[in-house]
A and B are shown apart, each in its own frame.
Chain A
Amino acid sequence: MIEAIAFYSMAAVALLGALLVVSLRNTVHSSLALGLSLAGVAGIFANLGADFLFAGQLLIYVGGIAIIIVFVVMLLGRTSDLHLRQVNQQWGAALLVCAMTGVSLWRLARGYLGVRAAAPAAPTTRAIGLLMLGDYAVPFELVTLVLVAALLGAIFFSRKSADGEVPS
């Protein structure tokens, strides 16, 4: 019962935030709604018993990605953006694509509506750590390499040279 209440409230937060992200006209508001939606997904992880993912979601997504998106929105925004429409002309076709995808995903997911949890949730952080430094050691090292490359790429693309010119 408690689990159902937690699931439905967190799902409502995540879906409402997502709807606000794609529908709001003001980009600052929709980036704040993105933070709300990501926090709702963190609640879903907590409901699943995925404690490490819950903490990682809060730290990286809510605390990092949502904040950096808000920063960039505030760097780029202009007041005149508030009067422009934020949706392109192809929204009808996009709605069609989404409806088709939705029907397919519904047909896939409804077969699992009867699958219940086999065991109560147990802590996962220790097992994830052991797996990352054991079987998944090579992907773990590769992803650290990807992070370093992303850091250098971000610095390279956003720097200015001494005379204010953008590097080509």
Chain B
Amino acid sequence: MSLGHYLLLGAALFIIGLFGALTRRNVIGILMSIELMFNAANINLAACNSYLHPAGVAGMTLAVFVITVAAAEVVVGLALVLAVYRNSATAYVEDFSLLKG
């Protein structure tokens, strides 16, 4: 296996996540697609670390930080989704028009 295989896998996963984030109507679907994109970035970090700089672990440490921030993001995001759902009883993003005035 070469580094390019891992990079291409990360690219494919990122594109699938990007497509989902752009097209899903459900806000939880968008959050799930964003998680896929985080995972693609983590694959790239870990693969570049172990192929290009096998003596150090800085890339994997950065991936650990990415996982942590992703966990915080999804927790706050889901709490916000629940709060919005309690107010407007919808989970579809085109109905989130509170700021429109």
A53 to B43, CA, bound (A): 10
| A88, B94: Cβ atoms closer than 8 Å | yes
| B29, A157: Cβ atoms closer than 8 Å | no
- A18-52, CB under 8 A of B: which get 1 and which 0? 11011000010011001001100100110111101
| B26, A86: Cβ atoms closer than 8 Å | yes
Contacts of B74 in A (CB 8 A): 65, 68-69
| A106, B85: Cβ atoms closer than 8 Å | no
| B79, A21: Cβ atoms closer than 8 Å | no
| A115, B67: Cβ atoms closer than 8 Å | no
Interface centre among A73, A81, A132, A150 (most CB of B within 10 A): A150
A89 to B100, CA, bound (A): 20
A62 to B52, CA, bound (A): 28
Given contacts A15-B9, A114-B4, contact A41 B42 (CB under 8 A): yes
A153 to B75, CA, bound (A): 9
Tier of interface size on chain B:
35 or more
CB nearest neighbor in B for A152: B76
Given contacts A38-B39, A53-B60, A72-B81, contact A86 B11 (CB under 8 A): no
Given contacts A50-B46, A150-B72, A154-B75, contact A115 B15 (CB under 8 A): no
A160 to B70, CA, bound (A): 26
A1 to B78, CA, bound (A): 42
Given contacts A61-B67, A65-B74, contact A15 B7 (CB under 8 A): no
Check A90 for interface membership: any CB of B closer than 8 A: yes
Distance in Å: Cβ of A53 to nearest Cβ of chain B = 6
Which chain A residues numbered 61 to 91 have a C-beta less than 8 Å away from chain B? 61, 64-65, 68-69, 72-73, 75-76, 81, 84-88, 90-91
What is B's interface to A at a CB cutoff of 8 Å? Answer: 1-9, 11-20, 22-26, 28-29, 31-33, 35-36, 39, 42-43, 46-47, 49-52, 54, 56-58, 60-61, 63-65, 67-76, 78-83, 85-87, 91-92, 94
